Chain A
Amino acid sequence: MKTKIYKTFLLFLFPLLSFGQNSSLSGYVTDTKNGEGMIGLSIYVEELKIGTQTNAYGFYSLTIPDGDYTLLLTYIGYNDLEKNISLRGNQTVDIEVDESASALEEVVVKAERKDENVKSIEMSVNKVAMKTIKKMPAFLGEVDVIRSIQFLPGVSSVGEGASGFNVRGGGIDQNLVLLDEAPVYNSSHLFGFFSVFNPDAVKDVKLIKGGIPANYGGRISSILDVRMKEGNSKKKAFTGGLGSIFSRFAYESPFLKENGSFIVALRRSYIDVLAKPFLKGDLKDSKFYFYDFTAKGNYKINDKNTVFLSGYFGRDVFGADFGFNWGNTTTSLRWNHLFNEKLFLNTTVFYSNYDYLLASDLSNSNDQDSFRWQSNIENYSVKPDFQYFINPKNTISFGGQSIYYRFNPGQAEAVSGGQTVSIGLSDKYAVESGLYLSNEQKINDKLSIQYGIRYSDYRYLGEGNEVILNEDGVAASDRKNVTTVNKIASGKVIQQYGNWEPRFSANLGLSSNSSIKLSYNRLAQYVHLLSNTAASSPLDVWTPSSNNIKPQLADQVAIGYFTNFSDNTYEASVEVYYKKLQHQIDYVRNADLLLNPAVEADLLSGDGRAYGAEFYLKKNKGKLNGWLSYTLARTERLVEGLSNNEWFPSRIDKLHNISLVGIYDTGKKWTFSTTFSFASGTPATFPSNKFIWQGIALPHNYTDTRNSYRIPASHRLDLAATLKNKHAFFKRGDSEWVFSVYNVYNRRNPFSVYVRQNEQDFAQTEAVSYSVFASILPAVTYNFNF
């Protein structure tokens, strides 16, 4: 079987060898204003009617016969650029492009302009310009990447205020959230109200929901690839803002004669500072704040080598005596190396950590009675990625990745009456590796395909415990018995898994402005977030696959129709997808997921399926920009022991999801924006009966079905207006006021509906609708840069 795959693969690669003597044109494309590399900019050779795109570092390479050419560079939000090239032998041409005056608007309109939406092989991909995200109405005035992407088709959240996001029916832990190629394990501040990305430091956001290329792996639902700014390489710049929650400040500057640049950005919430005068007694010492620090530098050693160092450190701190804090740390070092005009290498080495600490005596240590608890997930990785621009018809990507994980599921110390007990779950170790090879091939004018394969290998390693479970005599829905715990020595493999992950995409052009795209991918996921709550909490613990926990697998097929019309003013697409999920994690009732040495006994495993259709219409030009999206989707689970062993809707299932984003730029001082969203209610489980026990009414669901009811639908309108000022301070720079209103018509959107006993009489019952935001939330933000 395996050799057959290889043979088929080699067959595909043959056409690559048939090209003759050509020269390579390569280089970097950057922004004139700040020197930032342009990601995914399209370069088109008019005479040859072929083109390419810049990669994630702004690099492009075209191998074409010698001759005189006109290059056309296009990128949404930037002026089109025509450049005449006389190619005689290999040549390096670095190009700068200008941002257009108005958001999203193309100033120069070209009839023959190529359209990436229709022409590119990518499907199920959404890119949102930071410029757009910054103009959208923001919750409490705080620009937020993760909240903004929830307006895209196929993206939803379990409810307002929940952390993370769900893509095409997947859980929040099934998204690979990358910050400069390092994974971020918890993307939220304040439980789920804000995301960890500082908008002043983010350059590009790309969400891949399907047709996931072979260079990505490790999560089964989506990839959210967030790239940080490299820092202005032309001049020093300060940006910042004062919002209702955060104050922000960023500084960027070139160094070493513009061969390098860096950016540092800091955000901190300051509600605690404002609240301090109103607190007395013990609360004087209360802490409730969150902050993040983002820094990145790059240095161009020479034409062939550039290095980037990025770091993120964020933390949420709550508590007075009793304290709780959590946060992510990521560091990535990247090295771009050009072997020659055609072969590009990026090597990333990263470190990522998510940890939390709970302590009952944070401010004054108490040696009589206290409790301290900490947990983390830590990993190190090396990841070389090669891109070989063989000729305009073929671009090969290959590379690999190895990640070393250390999980600390929980270390706690309890002191009671002066006596200390240590509650330690031993650390768990794992190594996840992957190798991939992929080719993007233009078969002819109409058809281009991308095909690749990834092999992932996972090893759950000692030193650790191999927990052997016994299911005999235990109902499928109940906690399994632990029969043996085998101590496994350091470095020994407790369990190994391997998966072939084929990836395929095709684009068939129907006309100059429409195409059909098709994709299939298989993905494997070896680490899992154990979370049995509606919204994930910061205490949730990541756990590795083991002899009991199998890797999650997803197979997805998607097909879509893409078209642009009215001179590329509008782009529209329809996509349908079907996903088959295996080894999805669920939980026994009353599952004990924290500080439980035999947590594997509390887990259930099942299958999932998700399918849907996504409709998307986007307007790119003119004073009014924005998009409308409609998603029709289902996501279901089948778990032995739950809901009578029948398919039931997943907790995040929402049948209809409508989003509207509108941005109106008057071209003068004011910009107005609005967003509207509507989503069907999530499923809920209600009891059929009550029974009285010890004077308390207790719920009982006679049919024992799960999620057979729906809570009411949610909808919300937000507005924002931005007023541009001429200057920021002392006639320098510029600034703006952003006025925003969240939940304009004061709707109490239910997060959940549940039943409970009446507080006055515990034998009486009632139903409750719970809303996280139950009022209009206005906010004012002041932003500046100079």
Chain B
Amino acid sequence: MKNIIVALTLISFLSSCEDVIDLEVQDGVEQLVVDGWLTNKAEDQVVRLSLSQAYFDNSDVPTVNDAEVIVYELDQTPHPFMNIGNGKYRLSKEDAHFLTDGGQYSLYISYKGEEYGSLSVLNRVPSIDSIAYEYFEFPISQGDSTLPDDGYLAEFYARDPKGARDTYWIRTTKNGKLINDPTSISTAFDAGFSPGALSDGLLFILPIRQSINDGLYLHGDSLHVELWSITNDAFYYLSQVRQESANGGIFATPPANIPTNIFNLNKISNKKALGYFGISAVSQFETVIDSTKARESE
């Protein structure tokens, strides 16, 4: 957190700026978009289908309601999803108990004569032991009245289990609202940021433990942290979602298409889908910020 402030101080003395502009780009061809993420949480499981649209078309998303969506277990046991309108396909929580640790599952979609598939695995997830928070004051004003200049900086404690190449997605809900900023998607490779970090079996490293902050928390704020196990492919997918969402400035990398794990069963068909299908085991911890329980600042 503090390093970011220093960086900001530096940048503000240089006078960089961003202007929102109009841009003309060539449209591409409409494609099926799959947004499905099954978890072992006790709730209805939903797969969303829609169509891609022109990049700057900010009208309502065209949804797909006439497809067939089925999730298969390894032994071909089908779990059909029901369309409930608005592009959503639901499997009620009563029918969604089939996910088991290490289990492999496939998604099948049939849409407009094309068949699509995707594979995923349910990986292990460690439990979250606790959430701690301490008082923090920004040394300089945030310059934004909606953001508090002082409050509580929170961190969660969990330990990556022994055995390399576990990957995670850390999702935080603040006051009932999921923090969904694509530029700050929090992922972990073992307990660190990347495979090169060799952090197997450690407590999640500090910046990951603190990735549950979106601004500062205030007394009385509720905080719900979920740790999702994801596949290595999903880790790279999410990394690239984050990369392509914050890819401006002088250290931008060449924009690249985000990979998908949805494939057309007919390899020679030119109809390709977009999006991602994932499966996660979830552990969670929640708390309400109480100023009397804040940890002493270091």
Contact = CB atoms under 8 A, between A and B. Distances in A.
Interface of A: 159, 161-162, 191-193, 271, 275, 279-283, 286, 288, 318-322, 360, 369-371, 412, 414, 416-417, 419, 421-423, 425, 532-535, 537, 587, 589-592, 594-597, 651, 685-696, 698-704, 706-707, 709, 748, 751-757, 762-775, 777
Contacts of A412: 197
Interface string B198-210: 1100111110000
Contacts of A416: 191-192, 199, 202-206
Contacts of B250: 159, 161-162, 191-192, 533-535, 751-752, 772
B147 interface: no
Contacts of A686: 23, 25, 55, 255
Contact of B180 (A537, A590, A762): A762
Contacts of B203: 416-417, 419
Contacts, number: 261
Contacts of A769: 18-19, 21
Contacts of A414: 192, 197, 199, 202, 205
Interface string B74-110: 0000000000000000000000000000000000000
Top 6 A-B residue pairs of the complex, sorted by shortest distance between their CB atoms: A702-B28, A688-B28, A417-B203, A322-B3, A589-B256, A767-B23
Contacts of B126: none
Nearest to A643: B254
A764 B56 CA distance: 8
A421 B55 contact: no
B25 A693 contact: no
Interface residues of B, number: 80
B58 A755 contact: no
A728 B122 CA distance: 76
Contact of B52 (A282, A700, A774): A700
B35 A369 contact: no
B194 interface: yes
Contact of B50 (A271, A282, A692): A692
Contacts of A770: 16-18, 248-249
Contacts of B246: 756
Nearest to B185: A696
B31 A689 contact: yes
Contact of B33 (A360, A370, A692, A766): A692
A773 B17 CA distance: 7
A704 B28 CA distance: 10
Which of A370, A535, A701 lies at the interface centre, i.e. has the most chain B CB atoms within 10 A of its CB? A701
Nearest to B249: A770
A288 B52 contact: no
A686 B37 CA distance: 28
A234 to B, nearest CB: 41
B21 A753 contact: yes
A688 B58 contact: no
A752 B248 contact: yes
Contacts of A689: 27-31, 52-55
Q: Interface of chain A, helix or strand or loop or mixed?
A: loop
A691 B53 CA distance: 7
B269 to A, nearest CB: 16
B15 A369 contact: no
B55 A690 contact: yes
Interface string B24-64: 01111111010101000000000000101111111001000
B248 A696 contact: no
B142 to A, nearest CB: 14
A688 B196 contact: no
A688 B257 contact: no
Contacts of A421: 197-199, 202
Contact of B26 (A320, A688, A693): A688
7 contacts: A416-B199, A417-B202, A689-B27, A757-B182, A767-B21, A767-B22, A771-B17
B6 A320 contact: yes
Interface string B162-189: 0000000000000000001110000000
A675 to B, nearest CB: 19
Contacts of B139: 279-283
A592 B196 contact: yes
Nearest to A193: B14
Given A414-B199, A596-B196, A752-B248, 6 more contacts: A286-B6, A419-B202, A589-B257, A596-B194, A687-B55, A756-B248
A696 B16 contact: no
Contacts of A751: 249-250
A751 to B, nearest CB: 6
B206 A423 contact: no
A595 B197 contact: yes
B160 to A, nearest CB: 9
A320 B244 contact: no
